[in-house]
Amino acid sequence: MVKKDKEKLIDKSIKRQHKLTANGVRVFYDNFEAIRGIDMNIKANKVTAFIGPSGCGKSTFLRLFNRMNDYIEGFRLEGEILIDGENIYKKKVNVEQLRKQVGMVFQKPNPFPKSIYENVAYGLKIQGIKDKKFLMEKVVDSLKQVTLWEEVKNDLNKSALALSGGQQQRLCIARTLAVEPSIILMDEPTSALDPLSTAKIEELIFELKNKYTIIIVTHNMQQAARISDRTAFFYMGDLIEYDSTKKIFTNPEKKQTENYITGRFG
């Protein structure tokens, strides 16, 4: 009895070493199998890059971690996704609560059609926080974290839609940071941005990893090489290779991985 408990405890502590875990994950859209059995562990406070050709399932896999696939018709999941050792697809899990812990930044900047202030304060307001002073502090703090504060400090009441694409994307990151998630998912966050804005976001990601666990989907090999600690290569719904970024980009185990990162296909 005692022995069993101890084993359980050890088992749990092993699980807890990993921020995110996927166990035997398969995803179906009706009869189409988009993810074909993936096991994966992701460590805390690291940047993990998902790479692979379009349609390989990397975005689908990313969206499992904040359950954004739930809205897609015909979506079905097998296996389990654990965050801090807890299965987030269990029945009693509060999806809204989960998403406060797991923030997301989208491919196209998608600020709300509201003021800059309202955009950043939104996540806190929906939690029922009304204290104006606290909200303002949080907004300022979040905007400073994404280095947007200096650019917008006089325009907090202006529409967020008037900002440039790069500014909008940093605003979207700021609004995610405002609710203090522990994980941030980024789905090709720079693919719609110019090189300068991209550089800014990459710098930002580099700084954010001290406090957050970041997963980034990207089509840009150099970007993955520059900013990530570990890289996962997906192909046709399979996880082909997952290792340290250095290893993947200098000496990959699999021929397929090498072909993809050297641009021979995909």
Q: Where on the chain is the footprint of another protein (CB under 8 A)?
A: 66, 68, 71, 73, 96-100, 103-104, 106, 108, 110-114, 122-123, 125-127, 159, 161-162, 172, 175-176, 179
d(C-alpha 261, C-alpha 255), whole Å: 10
In the complex with another protein, the residue whose CB is nearer, 172 or 240, is: 172
In the complex with another protein, the residue whose CB is nearer, 32 or 71, is: 71
In the complex with another protein, the residue whose CB is nearer, 146 or 248, is: 146
Q: Nearest distance from residue 39's CB to another protein, in Å?
A: 26
Q: Nearest distance from residue 71's CB to another protein, in Å?
A: 7
Q: Nearest distance from residue 169's CB to another protein, in Å?
A: 12
In the complex with another protein, the residue whose CB is nearer, 77 or 192, is: 192
Matching residue, tokens 């998902």: 50
Q: Nearest distance from residue 19's CB to another protein, in Å?
A: 18
In the complex with another protein, the residue whose CB is nearer, 81 or 225, is: 81
In the complex with another protein, the residue whose CB is nearer, 110 or 262, is: 110
Q: Nearest distance from residue 58's CB to another protein, in Å?
A: 17
Q: Nearest distance from residue 252's CB to another protein, in Å?
A: 32
DSSP one-letter string for the chain? -HHHHHHHHHHHHHHHHEEEEEEEEEEEETTEEEEEEEEEEEETT-EEEEE-STTSSHHHHHHHTTTGGGGSTTEEEEEEEEETTEETTSTT--HHHHHHHEEEE-SS----SSBHHHHHHHHHHTTT---HHHHHHHHHHHHHHTT-HHHHTT-TTSBGGGS-HHHHHHHHHHHHHTT--SEEEEESTTTTS-HHHHHHHHHHHHHHTTTSEEEEE-S-HHHHHHH-SEEEEEETTEEEEEEEHHHHHHS-SSHHHHHHHTTS--
**Single-letter amino acid, residue 140:** V
